[in-house]
Structure 1
Amino acid sequence: MTATITSKDGTTLAVDTAGQGAPVILVGGAFNDRSTVAGLGAELASGFTVVTYDRRGRGASDDKGDDYSVANEVDDLAAVIEHVGGRASLFGHSSGAILVLEGVMRGLPVDRVAVYEPPYRTDEHQPGPPADLYDRLTAVVAAGDRDGAVELFLGEAVGVPAEAIAGMKAGEAWSFLADKAPSLPYDVLLSTPWQVMPFDRIAGIGVPVLAIYGDQTAPNLAAGTEAVAATVPGAELTVMPGEDHAVLQRPAALAPILAAFYG
């Protein structure tokens, strides 16, 4: 079932609901919309009310905010939680993982949180982009250069080599990526890859947390996940053998882990 709901600033969000049971909201990261988490949702729908939505500025959701801010996306998540009854458990992938943790840290009514490879920078000596990345990215987006925004984000925020980006640009999936370009500043603001993760705030999380990564993923993503598990009191850590950052493409492997945690 698809519904349209309204966030605090008037932004309209497209929300899909399936299954029955306790509500679980699935949140994708950069270049994701509700279609990319739909497979995972289908795997979980037999035991839970699964909710997916297009983050603002993507898919069928618009963006009526007058600036980019993490608070906008937390307000959106609050609206989705209210839509499903006022409380929910959350799952977030990549920057979506940071978004759901932000929601908890800002007091949203959340029962349990699972995160997959939150892209936090865990050490000041770890390589990261310059702090002007956000300003340069928003300028490219404002100029309407979607290809340029994707290239900048992939190259500097993610660290994809230029030759790999050129190969991606020639592929069929590039148009899907470019379609999400206007929302990329939100992903950068969530991860702030030029700063170290907010250990003190994360240590204040008081709900059960499961942190997951694949043993074939990038070292910095593994480090970010391990840091969340080590910092949140009582958090659990799971390492998935043979998996990497693209786990959403193999939802049958991830779903049993989440079902056991939310169960």
Structure 2
Amino acid sequence: MQKVTSADGTTIAYERSGSGPRLILVPGALCDRSALRPLADELSDQFDVVTYDRRGRGDSGDSTTYSVQREVDDIGALLTALGGTAAVYGHSSGAALVVAAASAGLPFTKVVLHEPPYGPDDVDSEDDGAAVLQLIEQGRRRDAVELFLLMAGMPSQAAIQTASAPGIVELAHTLAYDFAVVGHGADGRVPVDLIGRIKQPALVVAGTASPPFMVDAAHRVAKHLLAAELVELADQDHVVPPEILAPVLSEFLSRR
């Protein structure tokens, strides 16, 4: 494990594996860097892969005041430590964070967005998000995690089991960060203005068995990117086995 200091003084923990072109993996909600380590292992024979703990998770520090810009700064600090540029892959809310970072001008070489969980333009999910945050404030962290997972389309029994998994409840407070990231620029809907600023070659990934709103969001995101292609993974849901996902990423990232 290595550490870098972000612009506000927060320490960000990260790991590197493999060799080749640099690639940063950005995890989604309720995940630390260990969640993407299996994918990093699959990619490390071709890439210099970086997994990191987003602020408030794992071995990274946090600040008393959160902002999406501070998470963008965290990635900027990683880029500086790595030598200035890298390709980037974001999963779920991590993909929404990549949108924020790329649209702010961070020097990514290529961008991969895996099911950023933006909501439909005609549906307001603000009340559900407020309910999750209220449960966290009440100290009902497990209930908050369960509600969040149900909102994300997870079946009830699976949500209960996931919320009971070791280490998950400890990350519940960072759901507030994920809501802020997904809401950045368009109140939870596809942030067309931000996406239009992304100039890098981009890949959007969706699984055909994922919740319909996520598949729909992937299509809408791809439509508004300047240089993008969309890949649908047959019969895959929101979490894709690394041995299936890695070849898709490798093929795109290895193109000249």
Per the normalisation by structure 1, the TM-score is 0.88
Counterpart selection for 1:220 from 213, 216, 226: 213
Distance of aligned partners of 1:159 and 1:254 in 2 relative to their CA distance in 1, 3 Å threshold: closer
| Counterpart pick for 1:129 among 125, 130, 133 | 125
Deviations 1:116-147 (A, max 9, x none): 111112422xx44235834x544543454322
> Are positions 1:37 and 2:36 aligned together?
yes
Q: Which runs of 5+ in 1 are unaligned?
A: none
Alpha-carbon spacing, 1:200–1:14, altered in 2? closer, same or farther (3 Å)? same
SS of the residue 1:90 aligns to: strand
Q: Percent identity?
A: 40
Could you say which residue in structure 2 is the equivalent of 1:177?
A: 168
Please give the per-residue CA displacement for 1:152-179, whole angstroms capped at 9, x wherever unaligned.
Answer: 4234x4255656544545x5x2x33212
Distance 2:176 2:38 in 1: 26
Do the aligned residues in 1 keep the contact of 2:11 with 2:61 (CA within 8 Å)? yes
Task: Rate the CA distance shift 1:227–1:80 in 2: closer, same or farther, 3 A.
Answer: same
Matches within 5 A, 1:239-258: 239-247=232-240, 250-258=241-249
8 Å CA contact retained: 2:68, 2:181: yes
Query: Which of 231, 237, 244 is the equivalent residue of 1:238?
Result: 231
In the alignment, what sits opposite 2:145? 150
Distance 1:128 1:91 in 2: 27
Match of 1:54 in 2: 53
Amino acid at match of 2:223: A
Counterpart mapping for 1:56-205 below 5 A: 56-64=55-63, 66-124=64-122, 127-131=123-127, 133-134=129-130, 136-155=131-150, 157-160=151-154, 165-169=159-163, 171=164, 173=165, 175-192=166-183, 195-205=188-198
Q: When the two structures are aligned, how many residues end up with a matched partner?
A: 252
CA RMSD of aligned residues (A): 2.0
Paired amino acid for 1:27: V
SS of 2:84's partner is coil
Please tell me the residue identity of whatever aligns with 1:204. R
Structure 2, unaligned runs of 5 or more: none
For residues 45-65 of structure 1, what are the alpha-carbon distances to aligned partners after superposition, in whole Å with 9 as ceiling and x for unaligned? 11110000011111111202x
SS in structure 2 opposite 1:4? Answer: strand
Distance in 2, matches of 1:91 and 1:236, equals: 14
